[in-house]
Amino acid sequence: MGHRVLIDDGKMVVVVRETSEPKGEWVKTEVMNDAMLSSRKGFNLPDTFVPGSALTEKDKKDLAFCLENIDFDWVALSFVQEAGDIMQLRELMGDHPGKVVAKIEKPSAIDNIRAITDVCDGIMVARGDLGVEMLPEDVPMLQKLIVDEARLQGKPVIVATQMLESMMDNPAPTRAECSDIATAIYDGADAVMLSGESAAGKYPVESVAMQQRVISRVENDPMWRSRSMPPALPSDGTFSDALMKSACNLAKTMNAKCMVVLSDSGASVMRCSRERPDVPILALTPHAGVARYLNLQKNVYAAVMDPKDMKDDSVFEKAIEIARQRVLVESNEDIVIATAGVPYGTPGAANVIRVLSGDAGKPPAFTKIADR
């Protein structure tokens, strides 16, 4: 008794006064405010832990359709409450290589954020329902908590919902909305996402352009790098992790223009992005699906390379050619830090750091300076 039911993102609040326990076939509620209510609106139960799976029967049917008909890279699960929700989704996906994003929208998800982040591939700060399920004034702090945990574990994190809400109806945003986008970037989010603004608003193109302008402006702020430094990141004790930390430190020390990471599964690229090396990361992989999902990671520019071209040292010259095409390097004097596993294609075998510099006599070939 006394639990709230919030309808249409909290526009109408009702409080449960009586139920037909033990069967629970109906509830009587008291409406607490005036509001217009139309059909097909969602509701939230902020005071109630809902037992059972986050996956509804419709979710399962939709997933089955996607598994059979769509070559998808990511699937997002709403209203995650605990790590078991993610594990159930993975079981239903079987051996499908798609990655899982956990949408953090419930108080119980905050309580279990570390375990949820540990078993998923990415996190979404879904602030719409999160701000309904919890106090709106808590959402800014929760956003930082979620982003920090995702970055600590090296998982991409998306900040979403109401970023440019006023542009649903207006061609220009409020100043507060621009500040909101900037805050997410300064917090260290890998991505910021529009929803209704681009899906149903009057100014979808203008909304996307405005968000991109804010992102570019923030990332050109001289203070951005110091303000968005990651929390202290402990090593996982593996050789690959230690090597990637060393490569990123070397890139900073040598003022490199770009990093190149050769990866079969994408794990080395994710380790690199986790360290926020402050330069573009050219990720080279033989798998198109891996390349697509890696593009969600901060600073990553992924490209597909024929596996036959990744078997010998010529791969580094080919990598520099791709970096030039992407305008990630321009001059023969630019320094590039490259990492790879030898033999190539061995999972988890990142064991080479190579410092590359331009040979002015033979552009665009790059010559080896050092192996470590």
Please write the tens of the pLDDT for every residue from 86-140.
Answer: 999 999 999 999 999 999 998 899 999 999 999 999 999 999 889 888 888 999 9
CB 158 within 8 A of CB 190: yes
How far is it, in rounded angstroms, from Cα 299 to Cα 59? 32
Least reliable range by pLDDT among 247-261, 281-295, 311-325 = 311-325
What pLDDT sits at residue 225? Answer: 75
Tell me the average pLDDT across 4-15. Answer: 88
Secondary structure class of 233 (helix, strand, coil): coil
Secondary structure class of 281 (helix, strand, coil): strand
Say whether pLDDT at 359 is over 60. Answer: no
What pLDDT sits at residue 170? Answer: 96
Give the dihedral sign, CA 269/270/272/277: positive
Provide the mean pLDDT of the chain. 87
How far is it, in rounded angstroms, from Cα 162 to Cα 135? 16
Query: Which residues 6+ apart lie within 8 Å of 153 measured at CB?
Result: 117, 118
Q: How confident is the model at residue 364 (pLDDT cuts 50, 70, 90)?
A: very low
What pLDDT sits at residue 100? Answer: 97
Say whether pLDDT at 365 is over 70. Answer: no
Give me the helices (H) in the chain, please.
57-69, 83-93, 107-111, 113-119, 127-133, 139-152, 175-187, 196-199, 204-219, 224-227, 239-253, 267-274, 288-294, 314-325
Report the chain's terminal Cα–Cα distance, integer Å. Answer: 65
CB 210 within 8 A of CB 167: yes
Least reliable range by pLDDT among 4-18, 60-74, 227-241 = 227-241
How far is it, in rounded angstroms, from Cα 348 to Cα 263? 9
At residue 59, what is the residue type? D
How far is it, in rounded angstroms, from Cα 183 to Cα 32? 34
DSSP letters of 83-146?
HHHHHHHHHHHTT---EEEEEE-SHHHHHTHHHHHHHSSEEEEEHHHHHHHS-GGGHHHHHHHH
Tell me the average pLDDT across 322-336. Answer: 90
Say whether pLDDT at 362 is over 60. Answer: no
Domains of the chain with CATH codes: 4-44 (no CATH), 57-227 (3.20.20.60), 239-371 (3.40.1380.20)
Q: Which of 124, 129, 120, 117 is nearest to 98 (CA)?
A: 120
Rounded alpha-carbon distances, angstroms, from residue 318 to 71, 86, 134, 286: 29, 39, 51, 13
Rounded alpha-carbon distances, angstroms, from residue 323 to 43, 281, 342: 48, 10, 22
Buried b or exposed e, range 285-309, using 16+ CB within 10 angstroms: bbbebbbbbbebbbbbbbbebeeee
Q: How confident is the model at residue 366 (pLDDT cuts 50, 70, 90)?
A: very low
What is this structure's pTM?
0.84
What pLDDT sits at residue 360? Answer: 33
What pLDDT sits at residue 86? Answer: 97
What pLDDT sits at residue 112? Answer: 96
Say whether pLDDT at 206 is over 70. Answer: yes
